Structure 1
Amino acid sequence: MTAEEAKALDVSATDFADQLTALTRGVLGEDTPRFHAINMGSKIRVSPIREDEVLQRIPVSIGGEQRLSLMVRFYCCWDGSSTFMATDQADVHVFYAGSPDPLFRFEYVRRSKEPPGAHVQVHAHRDEVAYLLRLAEKGRPKQKFNRLPRLAELHLPVGGHRMRPALEDVLLFLKREFAIDTVDGWKAVIDEHLRSWRLTQLKTAVRDAPDSAAQVLRSLGYTVVEPLVPGARQASDEVKLFWP
């Protein structure tokens, strides 16, 4: 990465941090900790931090009492063309107040196919799921049976690399299912940010499959002209739109 590329990535990551701050404060209130972009070398971590740069959780209240907290962390980098900022890893963990283990983990790993790059893990227990996991272990060589399988080990796929949930989706989930406290105008804030996120991901998906996008546009009456010199294309097995 050149010095100019590093500087541009810093600017993009700082803008992303400001967007996340506007989102969380517009939903949860102005006391929500600010997101900061911290240069980690080849990547930039975007998360709420304390003055000593230690990761800070976002408090979430229900009925005026803090009942939950969010650990939110993004690692940003350039995409393969060094043109657009990409998320290399994202973690949104939902904790019950006072508990060291999360309830839910919404995670994304950019280079992962197995397990799926975008997945949710639920920290709970069901005897039936533990039994199924134990059965699965029997068919896998070199597995040891000295522990009880846990439901949290399951990676539930959620939309693939391009259509994965965003922080906005997690906030909506908490509002819908747990009636978390929100400030006036919260829904408009989420709608605006979610629309922006979905359109960004749509554009990324179009870059993954431009021929399909052109076909749809033509069917809608648009005139689409193929470029005289087609841009470089990724190998088919590297197109993240089709990754699990």
Structure 2
Amino acid sequence: MRIAAVLRPRSGVGPVFTLGHGLSRNNPTQPLAFPLRVDNKNPRAWMSLSFQLRLDDEGSYLTVHSSYCAIFSDEGLQSCLCHFDYEREKDRYTSAHVQVYGTSPALEALNGKGDQKRTLDTLHIPVGGRRFRPCIEDVIEFLINE
């Protein structure tokens, strides 16, 4: 499995690079998922990841503008376990967060009559802000340990 970096076409904010698996000149923006395994057995999980990189506001350093790392239980990417997201300067919720898929009796109990019905996967659970966002190594360690 290889990660490629591709210059995005016409970003409007200066050069923007996308990092991910399966990127090329013909596919500069949509990374492909890849199987996760520790041996030669059939994979039981797949990872999809994407990083958008550009120069910082001073134009001095390459910085992550957004990132996405998701774990799926199927190759078709229809059944997501969770995804770790980072979006620089997000307004409505914390820049670095995790979204978990599943059911939560506690959340269902909190969804009162007449309230907006929130599902677990719509909650943006903070993971420590811009400086302490999880890195890909953290996600890999999580997968190995859990």
Q: TM-score, normalised by structure 1?
A: 0.51
Q: Which residue of the other structure, out of 78, 86, 104, is the alignment partner of 2:82?
A: 104
Q: Which residue does 1:44 correspond to in 2? A: 17
Question: 1:56 and 2:29 equivalent?
Answer: no
Q: Which residue does 1:151 correspond to in 2? A: 120
Aligned length: 136
> Where does 1:13-28 land on structure 2 (aligned, <5 Å)?
none
Greater RCO structure (CA 8 Å; 6+ sep)? 1
1:137 shift after superposition: 7.2
> Where does 1:1-244 land on structure 2 (aligned, <5 Å)?
32=1, 34-40=2-8, 41-42=10-11, 43-49=16-22, 52-53=26-27, 54-61=30-37, 64-98=41-75, 99-132=77-110, 134-135=111-112, 138=115, 148-177=117-146
Q: TM-score, normalised by structure 2?
A: 0.83
Q: What is the aligned-residue RMSD (CA, Å)? A: 2.1
1:50 shift after superposition: 5.5
What is the alpha-carbon distance in structure 1 between the residues aligned to residue 69 and residue 88 of structure 2? Answer: 15
1:111 shift after superposition: 1.4
- Identity rate of aligned residues, in percent? 25
What is the alpha-carbon distance in structure 2 between the residues aligned to residue 103 and residue 111 of structure 1? Answer: 26
Closer, same or farther in 2 for the Cα pair 1:135/1:60, shift >3 Å?
same
Structure 1: gaps (5+ residues): 1-31, 139-144, 178-244
